[in-house]
Amino acid sequence: MLYKKEYTDVLKEVDSSINGISEEEAKNRLNKYGYNELKEGEKTPIWKMFLENFKDPLVIILLIAAIVQMFLGEFVESLIIFVVVILNAVLGVTQTRKAESSLDSLKKLSSPNAKVIRNGKKSTIPVKELVVGDIVFLEAGDYIPADGRLIEAQTLKVVEGMLTGEAEAVLKHTDRIEEEVAIGDQRNMVFSGATVVYGRGTLVVTATGMNTEVGKVATLLESAGSKQTPLQQKLDDFGKKLGIIIMILAAVIFGIQVVRGYFAGNNFKSLIFDSFMFAIAVAVAAIPEALSSIVTIVLAVGTKDMAKRQAIIRKLPAVETLGSTSVICTDKTGTLTQNKMTVVDFYMYGVNKDEVIENRVDGDTKEQVEAINLGSTLCNDSEITNTGKEIGDPTEVALLRFATKRGIDYKEIREKYDRLNEIPFDSDRKLMSTVNAINGNAIMFTKGAPDVVFARSSKALNDGEEINITEEIKNKYREKNEEFSNKALRVLAFAIKDVPDENFVPCLEDEVDMTLVGVMAMIDPPREQVYDAVKEAIGAGIKTIMITGDHKTTAAAIAKDIGIMKDGD
């Protein structure tokens, strides 16, 4: 269990160092252990897929009926049955192959690279060429290319939903973990396929390809047996019962015909043959030859509709499973909501909010507004690229979008006011601070949890004027914080502090005696389609359950908004 060891011990275990491995050693390991990629199991041959379509009880009955009709001289009807059955099989094989080719195309869309140290120098290599012992650099926006033990983590936040199912980013560290923990709590490890959303880090690769945690999941999926859908189970059951009923019916008819012919004095040999043929004809007539075709066509139409909604169905019967849904359990963040935090409100003591929105502030008030603008853009590690790609923590991205919406160029601000030093965000103290050069002065900007910032502030800005903070001011901020929280809003508080000079290096003890500037409230808004989707689900008798790690007040507010929760629930 590598998370229980110091990273120096892990480096020794994988025969590597901080400076990575050599190119020659990398080639040797690549030849020995293979490429860093997930291996696919052998695909089912087309002939086998084709024959599997004939295992259905209804299809077997149809084939028997066709053969019997051939003996009865009904060649046209037999031919029609054979054609229909074969077309069904061809359609099933075609759909499966088409889905597989679509999945293969999706896999080929990304061919990421990794930043590593080889021969003591930084270089970029294809992810599939990574080997155990490689030192890999991570930054916001990167996909983690292999499992590894962290040897450096600067406020590194990673989303590991593909393994844990949790959409919230996890703050990583490099410390050894003493107790035995699950994957989701291995904070000093990172896993292949996860995404870096904040900060930066360095890892030593400890597993690649099928040996990664994702690779183990892939192995389980390959070995998992297939299970029939409810429709397949019902059709199988119907086919078996129908077969038995038809056989009993044919036997009864055969017996009645023989008895009637015997008392009528018919020739016994011809009587038996005629009675048998009549019973078989009745049995064939009772078989619903078109049922299999109708089911296949309906499933194919359903599959086509799903494809229009960007959902690839690999096997035809799978689309029917959705029709058997009675309960939908869904994650909140990123599924019901946009996973895109948006600033929707703010509060600054002594400042008229309407004047700020209408851009009518001036004098000292303007300085207070500018202070919160600088705090939200400078004490911030996120970024929005020229192409619109958002990099970093969704909360910080929301602050940048809010600034841009009000005509503030955050990139220009960052170029104008250099960051001199910083204290990265820490989940224990719930704060982040940066020191920036502002017009020849050095100022520390701090943002964080409202209760923490309130407690550490000794002064406050009142309409732009710095005054000693009073209980009245604190209570006003607390009331606003409570009001925002009851609306399911996430609140951040901002404070500033003058520091000696540009060489000042802040430490945790410096985050006191600050001047409170104001608070901003944001929310991860529900997706527009969710309201109708929930309404339709309820109308169809489907119960919808929202799963989230949010505080119950926040969760309840979102659930009521989208219609999952009603008054009294």
Cα–chain center distance at 83: 43
Q: Are 172 and 156 in contact (CB under 8 A)?
A: yes
Residue with tokens 């998370």: 3
Secondary element (H or E) of residue 544: strand 543-547
Is the pLDDT at 234 greater than 50? The verdict is yes
pLDDT of residue 110: 46
Higher per-residue pLDDT: 139 or 65: 139
Residue 457 pLDDT level (bands cut at 50, 70, 90): very high
Q: Which residues are known to be catalytic?
A: 331
Token pair recorded at residue 331? 């994650």
Token pair recorded at residue 512? 């006191």
Say if pTM beats, i.e. exceeds, 0.85. no
- CA neighbor of 63 nearest in space, from 50, 53, 49, 78: 78
What are the DSSP calls for 362-392, one per residue? -HHHHHHHHHHHHHHHHS---EE-TT--EES
Average pLDDT of the residues in 244-261: 87
Token pair recorded at residue 155? 């406020």
For β-strands 543-547 and 327-331, DSSP reports them as parallel
Is the pLDDT at 213 greater than 80? The verdict is yes
- Across-strand partners of 521? 345, 491
Q: Are 484 and 343 in contact (CB under 8 A)?
A: no
pLDDT tens profile 92-144: 777 667 666 655 554 554 447 899 999 888 999 999 899 999 999 998 888 89
- How many degrees, rounded to 5, is the angle at CA 223 between CA 217 and CA 225? 120
Token pair recorded at residue 68? 């019997």
Q: At what angle do helices 268-286 and 57-71 cross, to 10 degrees?
A: 140
Q: Are 537 and 544 in contact (CB under 8 A)?
A: yes
Q: Positive or negative CA dihedral for 44, 45, 47, 50?
A: positive
pLDDT tens profile 340-352: 889 999 999 988 8
Token pair recorded at residue 540? 């169809």
Q: Which of 101-115, 444-458, 521-535 has the lowest mean pLDDT?
A: 101-115
Residue with tokens 């897929």: 49
Q: Positive or negative CA dihedral for 94, 100, 103, 105?
A: negative
Q: Are 352 and 339 in contact (CB under 8 A)?
A: no
Cβ burial of 512 (10 Å; 0-12, 13-18, 19+) is exposed
What are the DSSP calls for 164-184, one per residue? H---S-EE---S---S---GG
- CA neighbor of 340 nearest in space, from 304, 384, 374: 384
Return left, alpha or beta for 11; rule: phi > 0 is left, psi -120 to 50 is alpha, else beta.
alpha
DSSP state of 332: I
Cβ burial of 42 (10 Å; 0-12, 13-18, 19+) is exposed
Q: What percent of the chain has pLDDT over 90?
A: 37
Mean pLDDT rounded to a whole number for the chain: 85
pLDDT tens profile 373-424: 999 999 999 999 888 888 888 889 999 999 998 889 999 999 999 999 999 8
Is the pLDDT at 359 greater than 80? The verdict is no
